[in-house]
Amino acid sequence: MAGKKQFDMDVVLDAAMVQFWRAGYADTSLDDLSKATGLNRSSIYSSLGDKDSLYLRCLDRYATRYGERYEQALSKAAEDPLRAIREFFEVTLNRIADPGVPDGCLVAQTAMAIPVLSPDIAARATEALGLQRARLRTALRAAKVAEADDFAVHLAAVNQSLAVMSRAGTSPKQLRAIVDVSLNALSQTRN
């Protein structure tokens, strides 16, 4: 249609997601989003909604993208729980090492900003964290791990801390050592 700009929604959402991930919600302006997406302010509003709506879409996109990878990693936990949990952490470590995305984790970054976020965004971040714990709990229960619920909370916390620590400059070697300590503790709890 003449006069109507065409764009690839996936490319635009990825660009907005990376911008929010890099700078955080509060430090991302509409001008930043315009530069990142190549859309002007009115196109952002008309195509993607207000800043909160766009952030929620980006947070959902992020949670889905990495959530599917976590699900895959944990899919064989009943047969080999240590390997499944190691692969779960590999999803995070590979994301951290990926030069094509910012350091850290969009969900962890959002969770740390909950006190200043809208209730909808805060609820979505809390939901994403809860889903990660639920994935881990399901996998650990399937593997008949003693104290599966407590370990799910612990492993989810370790996973989020990896993202925070990577953003603070912790070396890949140190991050792997953290994973190894958790896996060692998990190996000692099998029923």
Query: In DSSP terms, which residues pair with 145 in a beta bridge?
Result: 190
Tokens 């959002």 found at: 110
What is the enclosing helix (H) or strand (E) of 104? none
User: Which pTM does this prediction carry?
Assistant: 0.88
Work out whether the CA dihedral 90, 129, 54, 72 comes out positive or negative: positive
Per-residue confidence of the chain (191 residues) as pLDDT tens digits?
444 557 888 999 999 999 999 999 999 999 999 999 999 888 898 888 999 999 999 999 999 999 999 999 999 999 999 999 999 999 999 999 999 999 889 999 999 999 999 999 999 999 999 999 999 999 999 999 989 999 999 999 999 999 999 999 999 999 999 999 999 999 987 54
